[in-house]
């Protein structure tokens, strides 16, 4: 774990320096250089990993299978990327390096272009397990990074830019179809009280939802999950409780902003409401974890917005005690969950870390 902690420490240090130079136009070049320096530790660590990640053997095998027509993924764009890279070298290390670089690139571009607190967003990127997940579910995380980059287009109501990127993301990993409706959630004003009532009604109707949703899914291409090893029928209690706490934080922060909305900039209440809605979706989805396989991936797909939403609310909190209380709660909660998932659940397969030059 110390390797990852060193990576985070170096990245955050350069990000902090970059933020210090950002207000000065004369230091624009320095700002960009420092931003790149904050990106490189994560990128290099991902690009030069070897046999790290539970999905490594799968993509290592498919690198050969896809090129020789033995097997392939259902997403044509990822298959095309695989074939292009195989034409360069039959060594799968190139695939992991390129995908790792692109994934981190879009995440960091999204953070530097959209975050209200860049350092906090990078820390959340690590603590919310997104970095470790990017070492495993490389197709989904590459697609998710495109969504992270495209959130700004949804908020600015630039429909074509957003939709084109989501089409590209879907051609990389089919799970990205969940992002198309997100565009229509943005640009609206939501109220904390209405959201709370809506979530309560959803919980009341949950027994019916648990019956209807699996039936509907059985008519889709994802029906095979029900008869696979992924269908474990376990309610993910820790994940749900974490999502519930984060949703509560969003609701409280939204409610506090509603009390002084006249002092906010134009469009900020719509943005705050959108962020709160996006924090509610993982809670709703994780309540179905006992009846639907792979819902955790869907929940994580929506929860990634938190790397922007939490800094957004913290930045606008005027009460310093409340602000630091939120920060400590979030960091403590996510750090505890990350350690539990890595050491207790043995998820991700990121320990111990090896480079691609390590001889097995």
pLDDT given at position 227? 47
> Is 189 within 8 Å of 273 (Cβ atoms)?
yes
Q: Tell me the pTM.
A: 0.92
Share of the chain above pLDDT 70, in %: 94
pLDDT grade for 277, boundaries at 50, 70 and 90: very high
Average pLDDT of span 44-49 = 92
List, for residues 222-276, the tens digit of each pLDDT value: 544 544 545 555 677 888 899 999 999 999 999 999 888 777 778 889 999 999 9
Cβ neighbours of residue 176 under 8 Å, at least 6 residues apart? 143, 144, 146, 147, 166, 169, 170, 301
Reported confidence tier of residue 325, pLDDT bands at 50, 70, 90: very high
Residues 6 or more apart from 11 whose CB is under 8 A from it?
38, 39, 41, 42, 122
- Average confidence (pLDDT) over 314-334: 93
110-142, pLDDT tens digit by residue? Answer: 999 999 999 999 999 999 999 999 998 899 999
Give the model's pLDDT for residue 350: 78
Separation between Cα atoms, residue 307 and residue 241, nearest integer Å: 18
**Tokens describing residue 343:** 């050491």
Give residue limits of the domains in the chain. Answer: 1-184, 187-348
Q: Which residues of 47-67 are buried (b: 16+ CB within 10 A; e: fewer)?
A: bbbbebbebbeebbebbeebb
pLDDT at 150 over 70: yes
Residue 343 DSSP one-character state = I
User: Residue 205 phi/psi, 5° resolution?
Assistant: -90, 10
Mean per-residue pLDDT for 299-327? 94
């Amino acid at each position: 774990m110390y390797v990852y902690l060193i990576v985070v420490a170096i990245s955050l240090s350069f990000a902090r320096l970059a933020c210090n130079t950002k207000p000065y136009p004369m230091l624009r070049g320095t700002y960009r250089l420092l931003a790149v320096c904050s990106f490189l530790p994560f990128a290099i660590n991902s690009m030069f990993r070897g046999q790290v990640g539970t999905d490594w053997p799968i993509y290592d095998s498919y690198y050969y299978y896809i090129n020789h027509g033995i097997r392939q993924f259902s997403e044509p764009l990822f298959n095309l990327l695989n074939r292009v890279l195989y034409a360069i070298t039959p060594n799968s290390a190139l695939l992991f390096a390129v995908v790792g670089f692109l994934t981190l690139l879009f995440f960091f571009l999204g953070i530097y272009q959209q975050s209200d607190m860049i350092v906090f967003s990078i820390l959340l990127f690590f603590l919310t397990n997104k970095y470790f997940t990017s070492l495993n579910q490389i197709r989904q995380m590459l697609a998710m990074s495109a969504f992270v980059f495209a959130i700004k287009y949804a908020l600015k109501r630039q429909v074509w830019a957003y939709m084109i990127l989501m089409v590209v993301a879907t051609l990389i990993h089919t799970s990205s179809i969940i992002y198309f409706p997100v565009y229509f959630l943005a640009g609206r004003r939501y109220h904390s009280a209405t959201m709370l009532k809506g979530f309560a009604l959803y919980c009341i109707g949950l027994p019916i939802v648990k019956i209807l949703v699996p039936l509907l899914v059985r008519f889709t291409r994802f029906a095979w999950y029900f008869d696979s090893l992924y269908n474990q029928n376990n309610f993910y209690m820790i994940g749900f409780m974490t999502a519930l706490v984060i949703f509560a934080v969003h609701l409280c922060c939204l409610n506090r902003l509603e009390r002084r909305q006249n002092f906010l900039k134009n469009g900020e209440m719509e943005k705050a409401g959108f962020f709160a809605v996006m924090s509610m979706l993982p809670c709703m989805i994780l309540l179905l974890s006992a009846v639907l396989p792979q819902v955790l991936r869907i929940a994580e797909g929506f929860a990634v917005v938190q790397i922007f939403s939490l800094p957004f609310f913290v930045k606008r909190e005027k009460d310093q005690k409340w602000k630091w209380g939120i920060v400590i709660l979030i960091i403590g909660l996510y750090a505890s969950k990350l350690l539990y998932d890595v050491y207790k659940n043995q998820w991700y397969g990121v320990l111990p870390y090896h480079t691609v030059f390590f001889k097995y």
